[in-house]
Amino acid sequence: MRTQFAIWAGKIAGKISKMIGFGGSTIPGVIARIVDGAFLRHLRRNAKTIIYITGTNGKTTTTNLIAKILETSGKTVIANREGANMVTGISATIVRNAPLLGVSLHDVAVIEVDEASLPRALSECQPDYLIVTNFFRDQLDRYGEIDMLIQKMITSLQSTKVKLILNADDPFVHRFAALPIEKLYIGMSENACQFPSYKMGESKFCPNCMNELSYRYVHFGQLGHYECSCGFSRPHPDFSAEKVYQNDKGIHLLSDREYYQTTLKGLYNAYNVLFAISICKTLGVESNVIRTGLLTYQLLAGRMQEFIIDHVSWKLNLVKNPAGGNLTLAEFMRTKEEKQLIFCLNDLLADGEDISWIWDIDMEMANQEEVKFFIASGKRAHDAALRMKYSGIPTEKIVIIPDLKEAVLEARRNGLPTNIMATYTCLSPIGALLRGETGKEKVYRRFHFWGLTLRNRG
C-alpha cells in the first residue's frame, strides 16, 4: 500500500508543480521517495528487462536511440528520455508511467543513470544490462576525480550479475574488465573514421602500472587502440564499426559488414549508434528493424540541433565538460566558411557550479580568421569571454552579452552561420529563442571590461 501512496503522492506533486510553473520533471520522484525511501526497486515490477546507460558523454542520446529502435520492433518501453538521470529523476519516470491502480508492465526499461548515482541505483534495482559509454573529466564539484568515480562504480558492481556492454576504445572503461561478470565490447576499427582532432586530451596512463599507454591509433581524446608493456590492452570488440562517415543527411556506419544510417550529426555520435546497435542485437532485434529505428529517430533538442534563421544555419549543442566542448568546436571548425560562435555559460546546480572545466576546452582551435565574432553569454559570460581572450582570440572579436535573448539578437544582426555551445540551463531558453522568440531590435550602449566589449540595453 505504501507503494500506491507513493505513486499517488508523486503524481499529485507533479501536477501541482506544473501548474505553478516549475516543470515537475523530478518532483514526482522526490515526493515518491519521501513516502517510500527505496522507491526505485519498483522499476523491476514495471519492466521485464532493464537496461542502464551511464558514462560521461552520450547517455541521453544512446538512451533515446535504444528506446526508439525497441519501440520500432514492437516492444513497449519505459525510459527517462529527457535525461533526468539521478535517482529522483528515475523514480519520477516510474511515477509518470504507473497507472493509478495496479502495475503497468513494459517489455523494456531503458534508463539513463548519472555516474555518481549508479551505486545507489544498483543498490535499489539491479538492471539486466549496463552500458558504459566513456569517461572524460567532468565538473569536479559533482563527481570528483575520474579514478575515484570509476572505483566507486566498480565496487558497486562487485556482487551483481549485470551484463556489461563496454567501450573497448576507452582505457578508463576497460577498467571494468576486472569484474567477474559477463562483458561485451564495442569499438571502432583503425581508420574507421577521421574524427575532428583537438589538442587537449585526457589521461593516457595505464591503470595497472601507471606507465604511459602506447597508442597504435587514436580516434579522439583517450579513445583509440592502446596497449601497455604490462599486458593491459584494448580488448577485441564484439561489435565493431569498420567505416563511419558523415554528410548532410547524417551519420553513415558500416558495422560487422552491415550498413546503417541515422539523421544524427556529429561524428562522435557514431559511438552512441554502435551502442544502440549492440544492445538491440543482443536483445534479438533484427538488423532491418534497427535500420528503420535509426532512420526515423528524431534529434533531441540541443544535440547538434540545426535551425534556419534568415536563410542562415544555426547549430545548437549541449556542452557540459571539456570533451563535449572540444568535439563541438572541432565539428564547428570542419568548414572554412565565415561564421560566429556563441558560448552560453551558466553555473546553476544543473550545470555544475564548478566551471573550471572551461579552461580545459581547446578554445585555441577556434582562433581562426573565418570565425568573425565570438559572443559570450549567460550568468558566467565574463568567464567565458576571459577563456576566449586567453586562447589568443583578438579582443575586438569578443563581445560579452549576458542576456541570452540579446546575444541571439546580436548574432542575428551579424547574419553569419552560427554555432552555439550551451550549458544545461541555457539550452531550453536558447532553443525557444531560435524557434522564433527573437523579439524586436534593441538599442545598445557599449563599455569595456578587461579590454572586452560589454553591451547592455540602453
Instruction: Order across the sheet with 452-457: list the strands.
Output: 305-309, 312-318, 418-422, 339-344, 371-377, 398-400, 452-457, 444-449
pLDDT(143) > 50: no
pLDDT(106) > 90: yes
Examine residue 100 and state whether it is found in any structural domain, yes or no.
no
Examine residue 424 and state whether it is found in any structural domain, yes or no.
yes
Q: Residues 284, 322: one domain?
A: no
Q: Residues 179, 238: one domain?
A: yes
Examine residue 87 and state whether it is found in any structural domain, yes or no.
no
Q: What is the pLDDT of residue 452?
A: 55
Q: Where does a domain end: 273, 296, 319?
A: 296
Q: What are phi and psi of 227, to 5 degrees?
A: -160, 160
Q: Residues 174, 150: one domain?
A: yes
Q: Where does a domain end: 296, 328, 347?
A: 296
Which residue, 119, 102, 103, 121, is CA-closest to 111? 121
What is the sign of the dihedral through the CA atoms of 350, 65, 117 and 11?
positive
Indicate the pLDDT class of residue 145, thresholds 50, 70 and 90: confident
Q: Where does a domain end: 267, 296, 325?
A: 296
pLDDT(140) > 70: no
What is the C-alpha separation between 343 and 328, in angstroms, rounded? Answer: 11
Q: What is the pLDDT of residue 358?
A: 93
Counting Cβ atoms within 10 Å, is residue 116 exposed (0-12), middle (13-18) or buried (19+)? middle
pLDDT(151) > 50: yes
Q: Domain containing 426: what range?
A: 305-457
More confident residue, 140 or 132: 132
Least confident of 7-11, 123-127, 294-298, 312-316: 7-11
Q: Residues 245, 360: one domain?
A: no
Q: Residues 167, 127: one domain?
A: yes
Which residues, 6+ apart, have CB-to-CB distance to 456 below 8 Å? 444, 445, 447
Indicate the pLDDT class of residue 141, thresholds 50, 70 and 90: very low
Q: Residues 286, 355: one domain?
A: no
Looking at the structure of the chain, the number of domains it has is: 2
Q: pLDDT tens digit string along 285-331?
A: 999 999 999 999 987 666 778 888 888 999 999 898 888 888 889 88
Examine residue 3 and state whether it is found in any structural domain, yes or no.
no
Which residues, 6+ apart, have CB-to-CB distance to 177 below 8 Å? 166, 183, 235
CATH number at residue 350: 3.90.190.20
The beta-strand segments (E) located in 264-387 are 305-309, 312-318, 339-344, 371-377
- DSSP state, residue 117: G
CATH number at residue 179: 3.40.1190.10
What is the C-alpha separation between 385 and 391, in angstroms, rounded? Answer: 10
Q: What is the pLDDT of residue 53?
A: 98
Q: Residues 280, 245: one domain?
A: yes
Examine residue 365 and state whether it is found in any structural domain, yes or no.
yes
What is the C-alpha separation between 86 and 349, in angstroms, rounded? Answer: 13
What is the C-alpha separation between 351 and 444, in angstroms, rounded? Answer: 29
Q: Residues 370, 440: one domain?
A: yes
pLDDT(378) > 60: yes
296 Ramachandran zone, left/alpha/beta (phi>0; psi -120 to 50): alpha
Q: What is the pLDDT of residue 21?
A: 66
Examine residue 382 and state whether it is found in any structural domain, yes or no.
yes
Examine residue 436 and state whether it is found in any structural domain, yes or no.
yes
* Average pLDDT across the chain, whole number: 88
Which set of grid coordinates corresponds to residue 409? 539578437
Q: What is the pLDDT of residue 162?
A: 97
Q: Active-site residue numbers?
A: 354
Q: Residues 292, 361: one domain?
A: no
What is the C-alpha separation between 44 and 38, in angstroms, rounded? Answer: 12
Residue that the C-alpha cell 554555432 belongs to: 419
Give the pLDDT mean for 401-415: 94
Q: What is the pLDDT of residue 437?
A: 44
State the Cα angle at 10 between 4 and 12, rounded to 5°: 105
Q: pLDDT tens digit string along 182-208?
A: 999 999 999 999 887 665 556 678 888
Q: Residues 133, 272: one domain?
A: yes
Helix (H) or strand (E) holding 12: helix 2-19
Q: What is the pLDDT of residue 156?
A: 96
Cα→Cα distances 329→78, 315, 319, 340, 371, Å: 34, 11, 10, 11, 11
Examine residue 192 and state whether it is found in any structural domain, yes or no.
yes
Percentage of the chain beyond pLDDT 70 is: 90
Q: Residues 313, 281: one domain?
A: no
Least confident of 24-38, 80-94, 433-447: 433-447
What is the C-alpha separation between 225 and 233, in angstroms, rounded? Answer: 8
pLDDT(450) > 70: no
Q: Residues 170, 212: one domain?
A: yes
